[in-house]
Amino acid sequence: MTTLQAIIIGIVEGITEFLPISSTGHMIITSSLLGISKEKFTKLFEVCVQLGAILSVVVLYWKKFFDFSKLQFYVKLIIAVIPALLLGYLLSDKIDALLESPTTVGVSLLVGGIILMFIDKVFTVSEIEKEEKISPINAFIIGLWQVLAMIPGVSRSAASIIGGMQQKLSRKLAAEFSFFLAVPTMCAATGYKLLKAFKTNPEMLKDKNNLLALGVGNVVAFFVALIAIKTFISYVQKHSFKVFGIYRIIAGITILTLIYFGVIS
């Protein structure tokens, strides 16, 4: 992977991580179009580059993350992340196999897009406006929804936001809690992937070009995500998720068409 390729994927990750359109799916397609989808390092990069985007949440919401007087906030995040940690560990090899499938991405984007077209009409009641009112049960159920995002193309953001709305969180709070939940989820995923790579293929992490790509990709994703988060929160306060549903449907059909004609393998 070249530095330019790392920058391109970092930009894609930063833009898409917090939007309900699947960052992993977009990175898989981007890697395929760049001709690097079959490299062993690519799958590791596609997971680890998400850490840069996730750290932007900590910076933007630093008062929330470093207010140690409110332990319930951390407890709820731990409870919510448990389903993903357990299933992520148990299904690691199967998830890695799915990361090689653009077809899975295309289908997931299409189906998810249809769901987002109607999600605002399904969950019309919002009773929880502040994070402090989210119960441990609410958090755990949202965490169960997040597990769906292990299928590339589903979108961790979309799954957890829908889970939040199903638990009667407002759209703004559902989006923000999805951001908060991303921090322990992706830190754990990145740590696990790096540890696994260190044990099975340490030479990959000793390669200077790989380390440079990881560093550049994460920095780019971090700064792009800062802008994306602010824009997204402002948008969902005034508009529905319908536009993201339309985008996903168009993207899904386009990807499946490109696969059919052999443009994407």
Domain ranges of the chain: 3-260
13 has a pLDDT exceeding 80: yes
**Contact indicator for 168, 125 with CB cutoff of 8 Å:** yes
Q: What pTM was estimated for this model as a whole?
A: 0.88
Q: How many Cα atoms are found within 13 Å in the side-chain-facing hemisphere of 98?
A: 20
Say if CB 164 and CB 177 are below 8 A apart: yes
CA distance 78 to 80: 5
pLDDT of 8 higher than 70: yes
Contact between 56 and 180 under an 8 Å Cβ cutoff? The reply is: no
pLDDT at site 45: 92
Inter-residue contact 243 to 236 (CB < 8 Å): no
Please tell me the predicted confidence (pLDDT) of residue 96: 67
Q: Does 200 score more than 70 pLDDT?
A: yes
pLDDT of amino acid 100? 66
Q: pLDDT tens, 142-156? A: 999 999 988 888 988
- Average model confidence (pLDDT) across the chain: 90
**How much of the chain, in percent, has pLDDT values that exceed 90?**
58
Q: Hey, is 127 helix, strand or coil?
A: coil
12 pLDDT tier (thresholds 50, 70, 90): very high
* C-alpha gyration radius of the chain: 18
Model pLDDT for residues 75-106, shown as the tens digit of each residue = 999 999 999 989 887 877 777 676 667 888 89
CA distances from 239 to 106, 111, 173, 176 (A): 25, 21, 14, 16
Please state, as a whole number, how many other Cβ atoms lie within 10 Å of the Cβ of residue 254: 16
Q: Can you tell me the distance from the alpha carbon of 76 to that of 263, in angstroms, rounded to the nearest whole number?
A: 44
For residue 43, pLDDT over 90 is answered with no
How far is it, in rounded angstroms, from Cα 200 to Cα 120? 45
| pLDDT score of 40 | 81
| Range of weakest confidence among 36-40, 101-105, 207-211, 231-235 | 36-40
Signed CA dihedral, 72, 172, 63, 218: sign only = positive
Q: What is the pLDDT averaged over residues 52-63? A: 93
Question: How would you class 103 by CB atoms within 10 Å of its CB: exposed for 0-12, middle for 13-18, buried for 19 or more?
Answer: middle
CB 187 within 8 A of CB 51: yes
The Cα 108–Cα 188 span in angstroms is 24
> At residue 67, does pLDDT exceed 80?
yes
**How much is the average pLDDT of 167-194?**
91
Q: Tell me phi and psi for residue 20, to 5 degrees.
A: -80, 50
How far is CA 43 from each of CA 25, 150, 184, 224, rounded to the nearest angstrom? Answer: 12, 14, 20, 21
Q: What percent of the chain has pLDDT over 70?
A: 98
Asked if the model's pLDDT at residue 165 lies above 90, the reply is: yes
SS3 169: strand
What letter would DSSP give residue 238? T
